[in-house]
Amino acid sequence: MSAARPSEGAQLPLGGTARSAKGASVRRVDADLLHALGELGEALAILDGDFLVALNAPMQALLPGEIGGLAEDWAQPLHGLASALMAPLGARTRCGVSGEYVAQRVALDARHVLLRLDDERERLHHLQRQLDDREGLLFTSRSLTVSEMGSVLAHELNQPIGATANLLRGLKLRLARRHPDDTDELAALDKAVQQVTYASQIIGRVREYTQSRQPKTERLDLVELVHQSLGLLDWDLQREAVRLVLRLPMQPVPVQGDAVMLQQVLINLLRNALDALRLDRPAEPLIDIELVVDGARAELRVADNGPGITPQTEARLFVPFSSTKPNGMGLGLSICRSLIEMHQGRLWFTRRDAGGCCFHFALPVTAAATPPTQERTT
């Protein structure tokens, strides 16, 4: 540390200034250290016992007004910073009005302590954006599930309701031929037919509503869509300690599609892979994602090394309300297939030779190309 002492109020490295509590000269501090750490954008101060020796520009920006040399007085403008000065070395103390900063004291030498102040706001904003994205994904997933459920129920219920209406009409005709004077019974059958017809009309309207949503197509990059989807599942992948292999083109793969719908398909396939690995966990759980461009078609593959799919399950894999999961509704893959078909694509599955299974979906690309592929493992 340099022994030079500039006059009181002199400019210190990185624009920091300080006065001693006695109004004496100001110490010049290790400029290299402040500069190296200051490049990271951290707010920094160096203390000598109970006195402030120097601070850099980011720290000074947090403490407007005249800065005194006594550490306790200097720290008062920032809520909680004075308490941080009393914390043990290395301890992390939250300060600021809403705890948006984290202060930490680090020993420099026998006399001097470096106070680091990390701005947590950007990290908190990033976490909030992640939570908002997950909330939006959950809402979309529920909306699509309700839509698919309504469509399936409308299709399944229309048949027995139509048969019931025909039976009631036939019963009314027979009753009218045999007992034409039984007006009360005939009127009751008329009302029954009316109610069944009304129920059929309601179901018809539900079906029209659930089928009314068409993809909001825009130009998308499938490579970017994969990265965005993985970002929404990063917590799940880390918690399950899954090895993730990405084999993606280094250039964009453009398609026309609805980003929300296609992301829903990919996330559903990834969650199914995680569920399979959780059900029968291998020694090294693996999810392999590969995107291949073949002329005018892009094929995305999501593979895992889980227990695979039995022939019995395969027969009903895409049938609505058929699920192998204890609490599953059996709509996920049915919805995925419907969404891919809405994009003029195809969804199918194959078995892996090494165990597990692989789901594929193919979509038309907007520009025929075969970009080079980059493999990455996490």
What is residue 70's DSSP assignment?
B
The range of the structural domain enclosing residue 36 comes to 13-119
Residues 370 and 224 occupy one common structural domain: yes
Confidence at residue 15, expressed as pLDDT on a 0 to 100 scale: 36
pLDDT band at 239 (very low <50, low <70, confident <90, very high): confident
CATH number at residue 149: 1.10.287.130
DSSP string over 227-245: HHHHHHTHHHHHHTT-EEE
Q: Can you say whether residue 240 is alpha, beta or left, with left for phi > 0 and alpha for psi between -120 and 50 degrees?
A: alpha
Residues 331 and 235 occupy one common structural domain: yes
The one-letter amino acid code at 200 reads S
Residues 252 and 226 occupy one common structural domain: yes
Range of lowest pLDDT (30-39, 195-204, 341-350): 30-39
Confidence at residue 133, expressed as pLDDT on a 0 to 100 scale: 67
103 within some domain: yes
Do residues 270 and 302 touch, judged by C-beta distance below 8 A?
yes
pTM: 0.51
From CA 146, how far away is CA 228, in angstroms rounded?
24
Domain boundary among 86, 119, 152: 119
Residues 75 and 143 occupy one common structural domain: no
pLDDT, mean of residues 184-190:
82
Do residues 12 and 28 touch, judged by C-beta distance below 8 A?
yes
pLDDT, mean of residues 156-180:
82
Q: Which helix (H) or strand (E) holds 105?
A: strand 101-107
Q: At what angle do helices 259-279 and 222-232 cross, to 10 degrees?
A: 50
Domain boundary among 88, 119, 150: 119
pLDDT band at 24 (very low <50, low <70, confident <90, very high): very low
From CA 309, how far away is CA 279, in angstroms rounded?
12
Residues 151 and 205 occupy one common structural domain: yes
Do residues 109 and 293 touch, judged by C-beta distance below 8 A?
no
Domain boundary among 210, 241, 275: 210
* pLDDT above 80: residue 294: yes
Cα 67 versus chain centre, distance: 44
274 within some domain: yes
CATH number at residue 95: 3.30.450
Q: What are phi and psi of 192, to 5 degrees?
A: -60, -45
From CA 27, how far away is CA 53, in angstroms rounded?
6
Question: In terms of pLDDT, which residue wins out, 300 or 150?
Answer: 300
Do residues 286 and 304 touch, judged by C-beta distance below 8 A?
yes
Pair type for strands 101-107 and 218-221: unpaired
Confidence at residue 2, expressed as pLDDT on a 0 to 100 scale: 38
pLDDT band at 254 (very low <50, low <70, confident <90, very high): very high
Pair type for strands 218-221 and 254-257: antiparallel
From CA 46, how far away is CA 377, in angstroms rounded?
42
Confidence at residue 331, expressed as pLDDT on a 0 to 100 scale: 52
Residues 364 and 227 occupy one common structural domain: yes
Residues 191 and 135 occupy one common structural domain: yes
5 within some domain: no
7 within some domain: no
Q: Please write the tens of the pLDDT for every residue from 51-67.
A: 666 667 777 766 655 45
313 within some domain: yes
* Average pLDDT along the chain: 72
**Locus of tokens 């895409």:** 318
Range of lowest pLDDT (123-132, 170-179, 267-276, 315-324): 315-324
* pLDDT above 60: residue 260: yes
Residues 345 and 239 occupy one common structural domain: yes
How many domains are contained in the chain? 3
Residues 107 and 247 occupy one common structural domain: no
